[in-house]
Amino acid sequence: MTEERMNGAALIIRALQDQGVDTIFGYPGGAVLPIYDEIFKQNQLRHILARQEGGAVHSAEGYARSTGKVGVVLVTSGPGATNAVTGLTDALMDSIPIVCFTGQVPTHLIGNDAFQEADTTGITRPCTKHNYLIKSPDDVARVVHEAFQVATSGRPGPVVIDVPKDVQFGEGTYVPPTSVRHRSYNPQTEPSPGKVDEALSMLAAAKKPIFYVGGGVINAGPAASETLTKLVHATGYPCTQTLMGLGAFPGSDPLSLGMLGMHGMYEANLAMHQSDLIVCVGARFDDRVTGRLDAFAPNAKKIHIDIDPSSINKNVRVDLAIIGDCGIVLDQLLDGWKAKKLKADGAALADWWKSINTWRERKCLNYIQGKDIIKPQYALQRLQAHLDKDPREAFITTEVGQHQMWAAQYLKFEKPNRWMTSGGLGTMGYGLPAAIGVQIAHPDALVVDVSGEASFLMNMQEMSCAAQYKVPIKVFILNNEWMGMVRQWQELLHGGRYAESYTASLPDFVKLAECFGWTGLRATTPGELDDVIAKMIATDGPVIADICIAKDENCFPMIPSGAAHCDMLLGPSDENQSSVSSDGMVLV
């Protein structure tokens, strides 16, 4: 075969095509013009023009998370790269595979404080899984293929490729993906021998077991979620999900206890606390989940299944660690459970469910919906009712704050990859661009960004992007005029001194929608709500539904910071008893 020679920019496009990429999210600039020129000359790759580089990365995250594919981003040097940093950090925290190309000043100017120069590899080193500065056109194809391998294998994450402009112009040789293999990076996917058998005997011996599953199951692919569901059914044990794991196990399943953690279900947190065996699959004992560490699940043995060895024993010491791909380990557990004809201890399990059901009886999500003011919980339940009636597949994105937690509590998640939220980093402004990315990947789906008015303002420039590509996303703003979660913490922890958490001079969201060519709707009373949701869903194009909700509603249940996970506030009446310790005050 003859060598294929082309310039660096063309090499990038060729490598992306060979990686099966169909969409790039980006924003042009001086240092990436040769790459944009190559994009112009071809029709295989579609470029989606964001309105700010941060938006481009979040869109790519939405695309990646809803498809399981790599999200590809292209931004320019300097400010283009620095604007991308929040999105990259978000993708790192939530293990989302992203390959982000950044332009760079020509090699001979690097270090000269040239126009739009930034030390991109230096800045992004701690917020990427790996990054590259390409020095020669001959390295381009290899680095791109290697980046895809690094981004997708092991625990997925973002990879930055910094490409100086002279490298984009210079000529190099193309190499296909099959010829590239990283020489040192090779994460373990198969569990070590004996570990699965050990886990099976612990599972069979447990009296009060619980599955605690997270985003790792979703990252392992839809088949892993199916295996998990079968395994949970085979054992009859309860299953709770993290914020990132919603959809990994069907939320409507009787064995599901819903989300656990700071704003998780009462029954899920109590079951964790009283369990004698926790089977953690693709989750990481995050501080939102454990509450006060020394009071976390004191009587439980813990099995931790994770592809990332650094997640093991990081916060909580576990009794059995199984390093491997969740999908592979779950397959082996299910096969082993069947082959050994293992059975749960029926009497103990019945007692265990009896306890769980008494906790369920507390109905921790109850609220009172009056006649005049829309409660956010009610708005989400009505939204879910309308989504259920719609024949289209529904995808939900969120911003960050109270509305995010309410969405996690009150919406239903039956399948993986349908729920896109910024979990680890907690990035306000994530939901709108993420929804655009989801809708680009799934043009016929119903994509709803459950939003708060403050988060929405953080990336509202992306409305222009949605209008340009006619992506019919629905932004469901739970508008209480406050940065609700900040206000809630100020109420609970700072004596009700609401410093800077009220947003004065909010825009009229209906008019705002219209000026971007969107449709704007508003509901101010419970009576108007259903009509507005129905109209939002039926409208053929992007919509803002401005849902004016109760301004002072707090998000419950809640584990106050620094408290044990069994020590929950269930509603406003509990607030007075809450005494947050001085140790708890410093926590976020």
Q: Is 165 a catalytic residue?
A: yes
Identify the DSSP state of 191: P
Nearer to another protein, 41 or 317 (CB): 317
CA distances from 287 to 217, 242, 304, 419, 492 (A): 19, 12, 16, 21, 19
Using CB under 8 A, pick the residue from 43, 252, 310, 582 that binds another protein: 310
Instruction: Specify the pairing of strand 209-213 against strand 277-281.
Output: parallel
> Cis bond leading into 557, ω under 30°?
yes
Residue 189 in contact with another protein, rule: CB under 8 A: no
126 binds another protein (CB under 8 A): yes
Q: Is 115 among the residues that bind another protein (CB under 8 A)? A: no
Smallest separation (angstroms) from another protein to the CB of 126: 5
Question: Are 174 and 4 in contact, with CB atoms under 8 Å apart?
Answer: yes
* 485 catalytically annotated: yes
At what angle are helices 376-389 and 526-538 packed, to 10 degrees? 40
Catalytic annotation present for 116? yes
The CA distance from 433 to 542, in Å, is: 13
Position 183 contacts another protein (CB under 8 A): yes
Q: Please identify, using beta-carbon distances, which residue of 313 and 525 lies nearer to another protein.
A: 313
Pick between residue 39 and residue 307 the one whose CB is nearest to another protein: 307
Question: Tokens standing for 545?
Answer: 């539904």
Catalytic-labelled residue, pool 41, 42, 44, 115: 115
How many residues sit in the footprint of another protein (CB under 8 A)? Answer: 20
* CB 100 within 8 Å of CB 126: no
Looking at 51, 58, 65, 129, which residue binds another protein (CB under 8 A)? Answer: 129
Q: Can residue 426 be called a binding residue for another protein (CB under 8 A)?
A: no
Q: Do 548 and 374 contact (CB within 8 A), yes or no?
A: yes
| Active site annotation includes 53 | yes
Dig out the tokens for 434 from the structure.
Answer: 């993420």
Binding-site member from 46, 108, 181, 317 for another protein (CB under 8 A): 317
Residues 120, 121, 127, 128, Cα dihedral to 10°: 120
Q: Per CB under 8 A, does 176 bind another protein?
A: no
Determine, following the binding rule CB under 8 A, whether residue 301 of this chain makes contact with another protein: no
115 labelled catalytic: yes
Q: How far is the CB of 88 from another protein (least distance, A)?
A: 15
Other C-beta atoms closer than 10 Å to the C-beta of 332 total 20
- Judged by beta carbon, residue 33 or residue 587, the one nearer another protein is 587
Least CB distance to another protein at residue 182 (A):
7
Catalytic annotation, pick one of 259, 485, 536, 558: 485
Here the tokens at position 11 are 């090499």
With binding defined as CB under 8 A, does residue 292 bind another protein? Answer: no
Distance of CA 83 to the CA centre of its chain: 19
Name the minimum Å distance from CB 154 to another protein. 8
Token pair 């209480």 is found at: 480
Query: For another protein, which residue of 130, 362, 415, 522 counts as binding (CB under 8 A)?
Result: 130
Residue 185 contacts another protein per CB under 8 A: yes
Please state the φ and ψ torsions of residue 560, each to the nearest 5 degrees.
-65, 150
Q: Could you say whether residue 150 binds another protein (CB under 8 A)?
A: yes
- The minimum distance between CB 565 and another protein, in angstroms, equals 19
Phi, psi of 267 (to 5 degrees): -65, -35
User: Choosing from 38, 53, 61, 267, which is the catalytic residue?
Assistant: 53
Which residue in 261, 280, 277, 278 sits closest to 269, CA to CA? Answer: 261
Instruction: Please give the angle made by the CA atoms of 148, 150 and 151, to the nearest 5 degrees.
Output: 65
**Judged by CB under 8 A, which of 312, 450, 460, 523 binds another protein?**
312
Q: Which of 192, 205, 333 is nearest to 277 (CA)?
A: 205
State in angstroms the smallest separation of the CB of 110 from another protein: 11
Binding site for another protein (CB under 8 A): 121-122, 125-126, 129-131, 133, 150, 182-185, 308-310, 312-314, 317
Give the residue numbers annotated as catalytic, written as ranges.
Answer: 53, 115-116, 165, 485
